[in-house]
Amino acid sequence: MFPLDNDYKDEIFETVFEDAYHCFVVVDRHGFVTYMNNSYCHFLNREKDSVIGQHVTDVIENSRMHIVAETGKEEIADLQFIRGNHMVANRIPVRSKGVVVGAVGTVLFRDTKEWMSMNSHIKDLLLELEHYRNQQKGQYGATYSLHDIVGSSEKMNRLKEKVKKLATGDVSILLRGESGTGKELFAHSIHHLSERNTKPFIKVNCAAIPEHLLESELFGYQEGAFTGAKKGGKPGKFQLADGGTLFLDEIGDMPLSAQVKILRVLQEGEIEAVGSVRLENIDVRIIAATNQPLEKLIEQQKFREDLFYRINVVQLQIPALRDRPEDILVLAKYILHKITRRTGKRVMDIDDDVMNCFYSYQWPGNARELENVIESAVHLTSSEMIKLEDLPDRMRVADNRSNQTGSLQDILCETEKKAIRHALEKVNGDKSKAARDLKIGKSSLYEKIKKYGL
């Protein structure tokens, strides 16, 4: 056998991989795309340059390549939903000197007749499954993924990157942030990106369960455990989440008695249903969330320090909306679109004055408050554009107040700051364009950006 020359090898490579019948993708150990063949790029309608170096979850819907690259466990003939079709995906870990360094994925997509009919058969079955799943939604489902978290500010991008890295492990995560910042969305996304994503995601609102019911809600009960107990008993949230993720929302509001019990489960990995004498092994990943100052609660002996250390293995701080004004415009437009699609009301845009008001408002209720404000404005407005008069009084008062206080110099600075922020928002942060729109020099704009900390 004579050695192959490089041209010949390249041609083989081109034929086998680039324009092959299959879609090929290769990711590195952290799930970032290092190679994608032409067929796959074409199918995803993406340019090759725009996918290389991206995290695979940002490129391919419902991808599990990053999980395979992390776990080293191959997945063969897995059904994956991409661009409206059910595809058969193979995901194989790549090893170098025995260590997993990435993964190769192939997807069979060019429909043969049999595949078409199988595909429609599967679609039919999955529709039926979806119907049953929907009946259980809220109880079992993590409905949101990272794609649903709108915002491309530096702060949010950094957070999303962190989430991608942390999701595949099994560490407990504590999500902190003010009310309405999207903690629950992040909890869903972590579950989605984790190896547990085919298992349940169960949410417990620790503040909403009465203290005397907490134990049976969390750990379940046996038949006859107390008067009124259901025949056959009832599983608790821990049992329901077995193999999956348990999201302990508002953990700072959990009564001390329940904290002791949770801590025991987390330490022992075993639970005891009310009225049972048998211990059950439970495997759950804990994601907790709170907007309470847990350290202060520990000082006041309202929160157990040992539980804090258990749940606080990794902490993610979700920034308040006022601290990432760059996200307000895109979030507002996303919310407007979501609401108009749901209500069918034709409201196409948001007036510039309204946006200025949004930028200067403090948003104590964060994204949730923004949703409420836009929802009520959509209902109130009589035009196709949300105007200042469609906003709640508290916002317009806050806006006027911020214009009226202080010296003339303060007012001028505040107005200038708002105008620059708005101009930058409009052009997606492109400083040259913003300077042109504002009719000032680029260096003057840079100075002002620095001065106002924009």
Ligand X SMILES: Nc1ncnc2c1ncn2[C@@H]1O[C@H](COP(=O)(O)OP(=O)(O)OP(=O)(O)O)[C@@H](O)[C@H]1O
Q: Which helix (H) or strand (E) holds 43?
A: helix 38-44
Within 8 A by CB and 6+ apart from 176, the residues are: 183, 289, 290, 291, 315, 316, 317, 318
183 touches ligand X (CB under 6 A): yes
371 touches ligand X (CB under 6 A): yes
In the range 377-396, which residues lie near ligand X by CB under 6 A? Answer: none
180 touches ligand X (CB under 6 A): yes
Burial of 452 (0-12, 13-18, 19+ CB in 10 A): middle
Q: Which two tokens stand for residue 1?
A: 């056998």
Contact characters 228-267, ligand X, x per CB under 6 A? ---------------------x------------------
Where helices occur in 137-204 by DSSP H, the ranges are: 154-167, 183-193
In the range 283-312, which residues lie near ligand X by CB under 6 A? Answer: 289, 291
Q: Which two tokens stand for residue 323?
A: 């601290």
Q: Nearest distance from residue 318's CB to ligand X, in Å?
A: 6
The Cα–Cα gap between 274 and 218 comes to: 10
Identify which of residues 284 and 335 has a Cβ nearer to ligand X in the complex: 335
Q: How far from the centroid of its chain's Cα atoms is residue 43's Cα? A: 25
On whether the CB atoms of residues 289 and 318 are closer than 8 A, the answer is no
182 touches ligand X (CB under 6 A): yes
In 10 A of CB 376, how many CB atoms?
14
- In degrees, rounded to 5, the angle at the alpha carbon of residue 321 between the alpha carbons of residues 364 and 297 is 60
Contact characters 117-156, ligand X, x per CB under 6 A? --------------------------------xxx-----
On whether the CB atoms of residues 169 and 108 are closer than 8 A, the answer is no
The residue from 33, 185, 378, 424 that contacts ligand X (CB under 6 A) is: 185
Contact characters 312-351, ligand X, x per CB under 6 A? -------------------x--------------------
The residue from 37, 145, 181, 216 that contacts ligand X (CB under 6 A) is: 181
Identify which of residues 181 and 356 has a Cβ nearer to ligand X in the complex: 181
Identify which of residues 40 and 334 has a Cβ nearer to ligand X in the complex: 334
Residue ranges in contact with ligand X by CB under 6 A = 149-151, 177, 179-185, 249, 289, 291, 331, 367-368, 371
